[in-house]
Amino acid sequence: MMSGDLDRALAALTIANGAAAMGHRVTVFFTFWGLTVLRRPRRTAARRSLLQAAFCRLLPRGTRRLPLSRLNLAGLGPLLMRRVMRQRNIASVEELLAAAREQGVALVACTTSMEVLGLTREELVDGVELAGVASYLGEADGAAVNLFV
Amino acid sequence: MMSGDLDRALAALTIANGAAAMGHRVTVFFTFWGLTVLRRPRRTAARRSLLQAAFCRLLPRGTRRLPLSRLNLAGLGPLLMRRVMRQRNIASVEELLAAAREQGVALVACTTSMEVLGLTREELVDGVELAGVASYLGEADGAAVNLFV
Amino acid sequence: MMSGDLDRALAALTIANGAAAMGHRVTVFFTFWGLTVLRRPRRTAARRSLLQAAFCRLLPRGTRRLPLSRLNLAGLGPLLMRRVMRQRNIASVEELLAAAREQGVALVACTTSMEVLGLTREELVDGVELAGVASYLGEADGAAVNLFV
């Protein structure tokens, strides 16, 4: 999960939950903008270099602020989509994330990306593991399904 | 196929046709913006909530209106690319879609995404199956190649 | 590797290098905008139709000019990210590309995309193989991990 878009997060987490419901062991590895999905909504004090702070300030804090990859319309698109989904009883990204945790889907944050974007452990939601590319490759190697979202 | 970009549709359908030509069984599962690839060019009367109608109006109708993910240049990019491809005898997205059907590539539309975007069965081209994430995962599980485009 | 974004190139090449370091045979197949990663920084004389020339002029020449898929900020984003990465001793895209070559990762350019974008062999860096979709599918078929970036 490299993308930090609401629509792509919905797709990834729907697939993750579907696979978990079918009895598969599932890991979602969050890297780059995907880390914003795991970010706490509240501001957290973090020691950052000036350059890192510049990036961090521009990155959304958590699922409520994710943009759409298309038709974002300055934030109107996500609002519209969320409202349609609520009317139709389709699980929101927050519900999908909660369901993933309940089903034991492993949520892993890429440590190198965290450094690049200046994100600290404390800024991410609870229950997230930290790991690097070797860990990802270890999981991916034997996986039946493996997607780059 | 989550993306609704001309270039990504070309990539996905080229791979799908190539695999079919090599004797593989191929399924393309269209979700979110990818559904616009399967949309009929003509306006179709559809019962939609007001919110759904807002989205639908902004989504392209069919392959002729797909934008480029890059260098779209307000629609000039796709025109340029199509012209170069015609000069060079490279199959257009419409030809690739027709070839995919002829080769028996299954075209599947994601029912949940259709609800989210307010798209109805009647708006999609003929010969498209409807299915959900469980169906996708069933196909993906044993697949030799499985891509998220 | 379809994308021509700095962040996505970093992700793809980090995974490629990681897999090679673990003893796997790795191929990166560059198509569409991904070809800009392999482009030489210097202008090269090339015979192009007028339409192809229009595209080529707008495409970045090599890794130094790659934009970010997000927070590009008219070129400021990549500069910021590169500086943070240097401070933190994280390998740049140029270093990753060099490491990939050293580790024997095969770099393959898609011939059809080269035609569409009007890119010639001479414009690409040394050591790149040329191939089509059938070659990609042959490699992908038996692969343990296969991603569309």
Cα C110 to Cα C122: distance, rounded to the nearest angstrom: 14
Asked if A22 lies within 8 A of B136 by C-beta distance, the reply is no
pLDDT of residue B41: 92
pLDDT tens digits, C11-70: 999 999 999 999 999 999 999 999 999 999 988 777 888 888 888 888 999 999 999 999
**Do C119 and C56 contact (CB within 8 A), yes or no?**
yes
Question: What is the CATH code for A6-141?
Answer: 3.40.1260.10
- CB < 8 Å & 24+ apart, contacts of A45-52: A46/A118, A46/A119, A46/A120, A46/A122, A46/A123, A47/A120, A48/A118, A48/A120, A49/A118, A49/C84, A49/C87, A51/A118, A51/C80, A51/C83, A51/C84, A51/C87, A52/A117, A52/A118, A52/C84
Low-confidence ranges of chain A (pLDDT < 70): none
**Do A38 and A107 contact (CB within 8 A), yes or no?**
yes
Q: How large a percentage of chain C has pLDDT more than 90?
A: 87
A81 torsion bin: left (phi>0), alpha (psi -120 to 50), beta (else): alpha
Which helix (H) or strand (E) segment holds residue A84: the answer is helix A76-87
Distance from CA of A114 to the nearest CA of C (A): 11
Helices marked H in B22-75: 50-58
* Residue of chain A whose alpha carbon sits nearest to that of C147: A148
- β-pairing verdict for B129-131 and C27-30: unpaired
Subunits touching C (CB < 8 Å, at least 3 pairs)? A, B
pLDDT tens digits, B84-116: 999 999 999 999 999 999 999 999 999 999 999
Helices marked H in chain C: 6-21, 50-58, 76-87, 93-102, 111-117, 133-141
Residues 6 or more apart from C106 whose CB is under 8 A from it? C26, C27, C28, C129
Q: What's the predicted TM-score (pTM) here?
A: 0.96
* Predicted-complex ipTM score: 0.94
The strand pairing partners of A59, in sequence order, are none
pLDDT of residue C20: 98
* Residue of chain A whose alpha carbon sits nearest to that of C146: A146
pLDDT of residue A39: 96
- B26: tokens are 């191929």
Nearest to A133 among C14, C71, C144 (CB): C14
pLDDT of residue C6: 98
**Do A8 and A149 contact (CB within 8 A), yes or no?**
yes
What backbone torsions phi and psi does residue B132 show, to the nearest 5 degrees? -110, -170
Asked if C147 lies within 8 A of B147 by C-beta distance, the reply is yes
Mean per-residue pLDDT of chain B: 94
| Chain C residues with CB-CB distance to B71 below 8 A | 55, 58-59
Residue C118 has pLDDT above 80, yes or no: yes
